[in-house]
Amino acid sequence: MHDQRVACGWRADEVPEWVESAKRGGKMFYWVVLAEDVPNRNTLLAQHIATQPKEAEPLRDTAKEIRLAKREPTGRAFLPVGHVALDVHDPEEDARLGLPSGTVWVHQLFISSALQGGGYGVATMARVESIAAQEPMNGKWMALDTLAKEVAIDMGMENIVPVTSKEEWYARQGYETYWQGPGYTYQAPDGCNIQLRVSYMKKRIDGEDARCATPSSSNT
Ligand SMILES: CC(C)(COP(=O)(O)OP(=O)(O)OC[C@H]1O[C@@H](n2cnc3c(N)ncnc32)[C@H](O)[C@@H]1OP(=O)(O)O)[C@@H](O)C(=O)NCCC(=O)NCCS
């Protein structure tokens, strides 16, 4: 996980914290694995390993619980090509954002740079939405935050650098921006910390029509 976070470029130092959170039944990470019937699977895995040689050794499914719900580990070996986390936040924090308690948050989505653009990110989002809507989370809404699409960094000397945003990528998957505010901190080359604007997005995931339900009316 640490190696994949380094490849992703964000928050590799937080991995030990996430391990402890998972043990308490908090934030839970899922590996992204290519299904057996994906065309050219071995070629794709070889492409991934060529860019991430440290990941050539398969991992093994040993997880005995997910969010404290017991499961039988399969013991199967697998080569992960990405990861994603699901979490349920403090109800008061959700309420401040106008979300019902029990909203499932998706965090830290990453697909191997060798495979990006192949549809695996979209497929992963569809899969985690289905996981979040089932036991033990039984989520009705999925939420996330991501850099706002208009973010650009003023580096001084009239040098404005645009930042690639994933807001439109999530919007294409049915996520709606409901709030924007200061978010991630970026350290500019001159050492200054710059607060980057983030968009908060949400999507109804329980099959109900989102147009007919707002988060505040979905508590029942
Ligand atoms: C973001 C990420 C998960 C997407 O996964 P992916 O497998 O590369 O994406 P997919 O191949 O499933 O989706 C590609 C589609 O999105 C489109 N797309 C890509 N970036 C986009 C963007 N910034 N805005 C809008 N659309 C975008 C592509 O044009 C393509 O569309 P098409 O299918 O119509 O051709 C992946 O690129 C990644 O891990 N990036 C680094 C980490 C990161 O940014 N994570 C998200 C943090 S919020």
Reported as a single tens digit per residue, the pLDDT across 60-103 is 999 999 888 899 999 999 999 999 999 999 999 999 999 998 99
Distance 86 CA to ligand 1 centre (A): 19
Task: Output the ligand 1 site: residues, CB below 6 A.
Answer: 8, 109-111, 116-122, 146, 164-166, 168-169, 172
Cα–Cα distances in angstroms (integers) from residue 23 to residues 3, 28, 41, 85, 99, in the given order: 21, 9, 32, 14, 26
pTM for the model stands at 0.89
Distance 202 CA to ligand 1 centre (A): 17
CA–CA dist 169, 189 (Å, integer): 28
Low-confidence winner among 124-138, 165-179, 201-215 (lowest mean pLDDT): 201-215
Q: Is the peptide bond before 53 cis (omega within 30 degrees of 0)?
A: no
pLDDT-derived band of residue 1, with 50, 70 and 90 as boundaries?
A: very high
The yes-or-no verdict on residue 216 having pLDDT over 60 is no
Distance 41 CA to ligand 1 centre (A): 20
CA–CA dist 57, 53 (Å, integer): 9
The yes-or-no verdict on residue 151 having pLDDT over 60 is yes
